[in-house]
Every structure is written in C-alpha cells, then in structure tokens.
Amino acid sequence: AKREGKAGYQFFSQEMNQVNMRRVALENGMRQGLARGEFYLYFQPQWDLKTLRLTGAEALLRWHSAEFGLVGPDEFIPIAESCGFIFDLGDLVLREACLHAVQWDSFFPGLKVAVNISGRQFRQPDFLETMACVIKETGVRPSSLELEFTESVIMERAEKNIHALQALKRMGVKLSIDDFGTGYSSLNYLKHFPIDAIKIDRSFIAELVTDSDDAAIAEAIISMAHSLKLKVIAEGVENDAQLDFLVDRCCDEAQGFYFAPPMAGEDFTGYVKRFSEP
C-alpha cells in the first residue's frame, strides 16, 4: 500500500508539473503573441426571439499562437488574470470591439456588441477612465456596447461596484450579467444594480428539454427577470427543441450554434449584410 501511495503521488506530481510548465510557457508566450498580433476577436450572433431579427454579437477572444496553436480563452484568460496580462488583453478587446461596432453600425444601425469584462480588469482603478477614453477615441455609439460581468465579479465589492456600474450607465453603455444562475446565490443585487439584461448560463440550456429541473430553473429565471424589467438572453442554444421552449416562455434573445458559431470579424460583416434590411 505504501508503494502504491508513492507511485500515485509521483504520477500526481508529474502531472502537476506538466500543467505548471504549460502555464508558465503560455504566460511567457502571451506577451510575444500580443506583439505579433496573434490575439483577435470572434463574434457570435445574437437574435431577438420576438422580432426574429439580428440584434448583435458577443465578442469572444481567440489566441492563434505560432507556438501553441489555437489556445482557448477558458485556458488563457485565467492565466492572463493571474499574471496581470489581462489589462493589455482587456484593452485590446475593448478597442477592437468598439472599432467593429462602429463599422457595423454604419450599415445596421443599433447593432450591439457585447464584451466580456474580467474581474481584475473591472477592479483596475482606471477602468472607467479607460472606458470613457475608448468610447471617445473610437467614436462608438455607447448604446451599441454591452458589457458582460459575472455575478461573482459584481458581488465581490458590491458597494464600490454599484457606483462604477452607475457611472457606466451614465456613459450610455448597457450592462448584463453573464452565466446567470451559476454563481452567487443572493438575488438581492438585481434590484439595486443598474443592469439591463441577464444571460442564462448554457449549462441550464443544454438539458432544457430533457431535464425538468433545468427547465424549471430557466423558466423561473425568465419570469423573474421580466418582473424586474430585465431582458433575458439564452446562451448555448443548439437545437429546435431548446429554441421552441425559449420562444414559448418569451425569452427575449438567444445565441448559440443553432444560429451560428462565433466567427471572424469579416465573416460577421457578411452575416450582418445578409440579415440587414434591404
């Protein structure tokens, strides 16, 4: 038993070592990757379920590294957060998203672009200043920007955040809660915070039609959101049955592979042209 334990430990620590080595390698590779232009945004369309019109897109960061190949944001965002590189990345994301929004707004007025804001980025003392700067420099219509925050980010320093969120609202940008239902359990913040929309996490949408608990949760989220005059966006919609369920319950908007996967900026330009009014 003793020997097994030791072998188990060795295996474990070897694995840990590999994880750590990749982490350190990615961390070191990021800065160079940014300089080489390896980071860029993809855009996933969002649809209005009542008017059946395109409403906008969520910007999703991609890293196509010469060294590591395609690295997913689920892997590199947490690393960037812990080493502080998220400040540079977050800046790039904001600027790029705004520049695209300006371009699309010119032939599809009102199209919105949703941007994911990480906790560390939001907590940076000059976040509001940066936001105002980017809006001014890019000339983006503020109402075409939607910032997505997770519940935990919003709740971390609730008192401070409420002021920051109010300041963002005064700039004219929209605010939404990402991954709703997976994080903080208190719902109290919803009535105090100047939020426009909540996004039902895709973990509830996945089993929507096969799991009655998930169906009940999704239904409850939609009706609660509507009572609070918040818009609801469902993410991760992949099939007809899920869409039917959401349309039946008056969910406002949806995104997911059913409509389209995230795509490059030029491809989304084509997509917007295809679905803009003649």
Q: Is 214 in the site for Ca ion (CB under 5 A)?
A: no
Choice from 26, 57, 93, 246 touching ligand C2E (CB under 6 A): 93
Site for Ca ion in 115-134 (CB under 5 A): 116
Site for ligand C2E in 99-138 (CB under 6 A): 116, 118
Choice from 4, 74, 159, 277 touching ligand C2E (CB under 6 A): 74
C-alpha of 230 from chain center: 18
Residue 72 binding partner per list Ca ion, ligand C2E, none, with a CB distance cut-off of 5 to 8 Å that depends on partner kind: ligand C2E
Q: Which stretch binds ligand C2E (CB under 6 A): 6-14, 137-145, 221-229, 236-244?
A: 236-244
238 phi, psi to nearest 5 deg: -115, -20
Choice from 181, 262, 268, 271 touching ligand C2E (CB under 6 A): 262
* CB nearer to ligand C2E: pick between 1 and 70: 70
Choice from 38, 105, 151, 179 touching Ca ion (CB under 5 A): 179
Choice from 24, 257, 264, 273 touching ligand C2E (CB under 6 A): 257
**Shortest Å, Cβ 208 to ligand C2E:** 12
Binding residues for ligand C2E, rule: CB under 6 A, are 44, 59-61, 72-74, 77, 93, 116, 118, 178-179, 202, 235-238, 256-257, 262
